[in-house]
Amino acid sequence: MFKDTPDRNDINNKFIKHDSSMLNQVYGTNDVTPYWIADMDFPIASPISDAMQQLVSRESYSYEFDSKTLFESISTWNKDRHDLDLNPDHFVQVPGVLSAIAMLIRDFTNEGEGVLIQTPVYHQFRRLIESAGRKAVNNPLNIENDRYVIDFEGFENKLKSGDVHMVLLCNPHNPVGRVWTKMELQRLVAIAKKYEILIISDEVHADIIFEGSSFTSMASLDYDNSLTIIGSPAKNFGLNSISNGYIYSDNQRLREKIKATSASMSLDHGNAFTMYATIAAYQQGKPWFDAFLSYTQQTRHWIVAFMASELPQVKTFVPEGTNQIWFDFTGLGLTSDRLKSLLTEQAKMALTPGTWFGESDENYYRMNFAAPLAQIQHSFELLKRSINNSK
Ligand SMILES: Cc1ncc(COP(=O)(O)O)c(C=O)c1O
């Protein structure tokens, strides 16, 4: 069952999120509690560990790939969780979510062409677009009533201009925690349809959805010109370093193209650990995942309530999904250097600067709250004290 006490041992010290030299490099100190990388700090579900232990005790690692069981278990999970109908024959497996995006950019756009993103957004999107020699066309999100929304007018204008050849959507949206509604997505699709633009939907955070929101996948919207990177067990089961990416499309032409690229680079070979871990997660991980989601939802609730009563001068964007929470510290009236030192040196919190995600205002920070609640409570008490002392 779900446990919120991480079992720290030597090997954990190699984790990027906790690595002292990485923290020193990024924050100028390792005396901080890491809330930056979107990894969870909990032991994984025991059916996954059991499956991997069985694989170890088998003492044999011959080539193997059971795509039938794998894709069926992903489909069944999505049917149960999101009432999403996925045909197990319509998947293409690639090494990871980011490699999926990198491959799709190269397969479906040409050098110099534009790929639309909506900042603030997961920083690797821009990197992948630009490192492929494409142009990132930004359509920033707007804030309305303390909630991020899509600028549909800007979206349509950018598609109409002819500069955009692909839309890269993040749903749920990291770092602002929006779970795009069916209506919002339908409106987006209607515009993309009008200008015949391909949509790539990164849905890696799809299962971490809080009460009051429900998840709509691009794959359910009947848009033939789209490819969905279905949520992998990376984020919801804590398998970031051993997860694959699963591209889904009902469009056979698009699928065949990706399969050909993937095969041409021999990227279609799975890793047995990843395969068994994924099948175990999706077939036997539900009780653990439900407990994890309920825990992290309580943590979200605690943070939001604490910020509202103790630090109302900081704007907290309540996440509808993802384990990321987004803050605007403008109300403290501090310079960006002073804010940075307050957060790292006094509150000892390693938060991710919003500028990483394309936010130009240095008052924004993201926190990953998939960590033990007691630790989070301690950090926020320290944050409160640091802010009150800075007056
Ligand atoms: C939106 C989004 N896409 C992709 C990834 C990374 O995916 P992967 O490690 O499977 O390539 C992350 C990790 O934080 C993410 O937040």
Q: Are residues 235 and 331 in the same domain?
A: no
Q: What is the pLDDT of residues 186-221, one digit of tens each?
A: 999 999 999 999 999 999 999 999 999 999 999 999
Residues of the domain holding 176? 48-285
Pocket test for ligand 1, best of 117, 168, 174 (most atoms within 8 A of CB): 174
Among 247, 265, 285, the domain boundary falls at: 285
Q: Are residues 187 and 333 in the same domain?
A: no
Q: Are residues 241 and 291 in the same domain?
A: no
Q: Provide the mean pLDDT of the chain.
A: 95
CATH number for the domain spanning 366: value is 3.90.1150.10
Distance, CA 338 to ligand 1 centroid (Å)? 31
pLDDT in the model for residue 233: 93
Does residue 308 lie in a domain region? yes
Q: Is the pLDDT of residue 106 over 70?
A: yes
Does residue 2 lie in a domain region? no
Q: What is the pLDDT of residues 334-371, one digit of tens each?
A: 999 999 999 999 999 999 999 999 999 999 999 999 99
CB 64 within 8 A of CB 294: no
- Rounded Cα–Cα distance for residues 201 and 204 (Å): 9
Coil, helix or strand at residue 64 = coil
Q: Are residues 64 and 177 in the same domain?
A: yes
CB 117 within 8 A of CB 126: yes
122 Cβ inside 6 Å of ligand 1: yes
* Structure-model confidence comparison of residues 182 and 4, the more confident one: 182
Does residue 3 lie in a domain region? no
Q: pTM for the full model?
A: 0.96
pLDDT in the model for residue 1: 83
Q: Are residues 262 and 384 in the same domain?
A: no
Taking phi first (over 0 means left), then psi (-120 to 50 degrees means alpha), and beta for anything else, what does residue 65 get?
beta
Distance, CA 98 to ligand 1 centroid (Å)? 6
Looking at the structure of the chain, the number of domains it has is: 2
Q: Are residues 281 and 370 in the same domain?
A: no
Q: Where are the alpha helices (DSSP H) in the chain?
A: 20-27, 46-58, 67-82, 97-108, 124-131, 152-160, 182-194, 233-236, 252-264, 272-284, 286-310, 336-341, 373-389
Does residue 1 lie in a domain region? no
100 Cβ inside 6 Å of ligand 1: no
Q: Given pLDDT bands bounded at 50, 70 and 90, which one contains residue 12?
A: low
Q: Are residues 351 and 271 in the same domain?
A: no
Q: What is the pLDDT of residues 74-100, one digit of tens each?
A: 999 999 999 999 999 999 999 999 999
pLDDT in the model for residue 10: 61
Q: Are residues 95 and 222 in the same domain?
A: yes
Q: Is the pLDDT of residue 39 over 70?
A: yes
Q: Residue 297: phi, psi to the nearest 5?
A: -70, -40
Q: Are residues 79 and 18 in the same domain?
A: no
pLDDT in the model for residue 270: 81
- Rounded Cα–Cα distance for residues 69 and 379 (Å): 43
Q: Are residues 251 and 322 in the same domain?
A: no
CATH number for the domain spanning 103: value is 3.40.640.10
202 Cβ inside 6 Å of ligand 1: yes
Average pLDDT, stretch 274-300? 98
For the chain, helix (H) and strand (E) counts, in that order, are: 13, 15
Q: Given pLDDT bands bounded at 50, 70 and 90, which one contains residue 8?
A: low
Encoded tokens for 231: 């949520």
Q: Are residues 311 and 359 in the same domain?
A: yes
Q: Are residues 355 and 227 in the same domain?
A: no
